[in-house]
Amino acid sequence: MHEAVLGATQFSVQINFLSPLINGIANGAAYGLLGLGLVLLYKSNRIFNFAQGEFATVGAIVTYVFYSGTGVLPKLPFFVAVPIGLLASVGIALLTERLVIRPMFNRAKVILVVGTVGVALLLIGVEGLLPYPKTQSLPTISDVLKVQPFIGRVDGIPILYQDLAKLAMLVVLAVGAFYFFRYTRTGTAILAVSQDATAARVVGISVERISLISWGIAGLLGGVAGVLLAVPPQGTVTPGAFTGTTLTVAFAAAVLGGMTSLPGAFVGGLSLGLIEAFANVDASFVPGLNHVHSGQAELAVFAVLLAVLLFRPRGLLGSET
């Protein structure tokens, strides 16, 4: 009943539409969280932070070692281990700002970018030396709550608790970010620094303090994304887990939405999550992708991103800088 024939290929509403729609929104939510951290630091410091993926990895690893009781560490409940992991992500981000970014604050921005690359490489090396299983994953929300993996089905497609958790965190943080930047003095100060740091300093805003706060928030966002992504079947707590493909897609999401737009990070993340999911499942229906045997999602993301850069370089919601 829910199937149609397109050429020689059978189209299924459940498999070719509902399933990638649900998976794309869930993964896109996590990309949006990482992208939001990238945009926040670009707005406040005007740099691209290549260590953002490792903030996510640190959060996932620390959560895992406390949840599993690795080595001499106590075995803690999941909802106690998670805040510890998030604190670790924030702490690493704050140390990065104080020890790497702050001393070079007045240097050329490209030097600061290279500094974040160095931080990412250092963290990957340290993570590899830590004595914990490198092939494990964090439990899903359903495993923690000891319930069935899905809350229900939509036309036969299961709606996983883990996917709902990703989307819920994106919505909560999106609303929180809106109120933070609209109604708090610190949020307003961050926006002021992003517009004109010199003018903000003249009116009494500490640019250094705002930079530290921005990095702390970026670390928190990265930690949340790491905990949500380090679950089966793809997610693991291996060193550098989120600095490869995941960080690349998060950068693409930030550029797609607009590097100067915080809402754009959410929109870009959700958009790329959907593009990836539909390209993986429906490539046979798309001219040009139907002859590609692998990497359909990457090719689709590249094509969309290239089109945006050519015809709207400031992104979907970004403004001229």
Range of the domain at 79: 3-311
Residue 205, domain member (yes or no)? yes
Residue 225, domain member (yes or no)? yes
Tokens of 156: 């036969």
Residue 321, domain member (yes or no)? no
Residue 317, domain member (yes or no)? no
- Report the domain count for the chain: 1
CATH at 134: 1.10.3470
Distances (CA, A) of 230 to 32, 141, 189: 16, 12, 34
Task: Classify residue 230 by its DSSP letter.
Answer: S
Q: What is the pLDDT of residue 159?
A: 80
Residue 320, domain member (yes or no)? no
pTM: 0.87
Q: What is the pLDDT of residue 13?
A: 73
Q: What is the pLDDT of residue 317?
A: 82
Q: What is the pLDDT of residue 7?
A: 45
What is the C-alpha separation between 317 and 303, in angstroms, rounded?
Answer: 19
Residue 158, domain member (yes or no)? yes
The list of the chain residues with pLDDT below 50 reads: 1-2, 4-8
Q: What is the pLDDT of residue 65?
A: 93
Distances (CA, A) of 140 to 109, 287, 304: 39, 37, 32
Residue 319, domain member (yes or no)? no
Tokens of 7: 């050429």
- DSSP-derived secondary structure for 284-315: GGSTTTTT--S-HHHHHHHHHHHHHHHH-TT-
